A and B are shown apart, each in its own frame.
Chain A
Amino acid sequence: KAGVTQTPRYLIKTRGQQVTLSCSPISGHRSVSWYQQTPGQGLQFLFEYFSETQRNKGNFPGRFSGRQFSNSRSEMNVSTLELGDSALYLCASSLEGGRGEKLFFGSGTQLSVL
């Protein structure tokens, strides 16, 4: 069974550009959540999608957005990039996104903003 796949693995952008990251969950998993990891702030929750609907959202500006497709694949978009957006972006999937469920993480996309 394939794990959670995130593409691309590395990305370099300049300030003001926008970026789209992709996450393919484990087959059969319908919940996808996104996290930002930085050395200073650690891991912070961005948002969670279930059945193509955003179910929960963390405390990030509107420049951060996402969506989920009917096959449960999810994309995350960051517009008007800032230097502080440089981070490892992780996605995780689970069956239903229930609070008792184990999360399976991808290897992440390392975004560098110059």
Chain B
Amino acid sequence: KQEVTQIPAALSVPEGENLVLNCSFTDSAIYNLQWFRQDPGKGLTSLLLIQSSQREQTSGRLNASLDKSSGRSTLYIAASQPGDSATYLCAVTDSTLTFGKGTMLLVSP
């Protein structure tokens, strides 16, 4: 059974810092990995989707990498802003979509 772990569970940084969120998964036979953002009480917004054949994806200040063989992904956020405060979830697709429990990020002005 696929298990997805996200470290750290919570992170607090001052505005302007670069930061890295980590995601690991136990079964490397995945089709893709996605990073989502969730604001309190809201649904999820897809940030980046990396296919299993890809190594990384970039969107603006966000960069996600995937190392399928080691079962790891990282989400790099450059020059963090208070508006980046949210919970970030990663999810892997094999037979279904399996989510990690997320990293709660707080960026203070």
- Interface on A for B, CB 8 Å cutoff? 4, 6, 33, 35, 42-45, 48, 56, 58, 88, 90, 92, 99-100, 102-108, 110
Tell me how far the C-beta of A38 lies from the nearest C-beta in chain B, rounded to whole angstroms.
10
List of B residues within 8 angstroms of A43 by Cβ: 89, 91, 99
B23-43 interface with A by 8 A CB criterion = 31-32, 34, 36, 41-43
B17-72 interface with A by 8 A CB criterion = 31-32, 34, 36, 41-46, 49, 51
Count class of interface residues, chain B: 20 to 34
Tell me how far the C-beta of B29 lies from the nearest C-beta in chain A, rounded to whole angstroms.
12
Instruction: Judge whether A100 and B34 touch: CB under 8 Å.
Output: no
Instruction: Judge whether B34 and A56 touch: CB under 8 Å.
Output: no
List of A residues within 8 angstroms of B102 by Cβ: 42
Instruction: Judge whether A100 and B51 touch: CB under 8 Å.
Output: yes
List of B residues within 8 angstroms of A42 by Cβ: 99-102
Question: Given A106-B43, A110-B41, is A99 in contact with B99 using a C-beta cutoff of 8 Å?
Answer: no
Return the contact of A4 from the options B41, B43, B89 (Cβ within 8 A).
B43
Nearest chain B residue, comparing its CB with the CB of A43: B99
Tell me how far the C-beta of B64 lies from the nearest C-beta in chain A, rounded to whole angstroms.
13
How many angstroms from the CA of A56 to the CA of B51 in the assembled complex? 21
Tell me how far the C-beta of A18 lies from the nearest C-beta in chain B, rounded to whole angstroms.
24
Q: A4-B43, A107-B43 are in contact. List 13 more A-B contacts (CB 8 A).
A: A45-B96, A56-B96, A58-B96, A88-B41, A99-B31, A99-B32, A100-B31, A100-B49, A100-B51, A102-B34, A105-B44, A108-B41, A108-B43
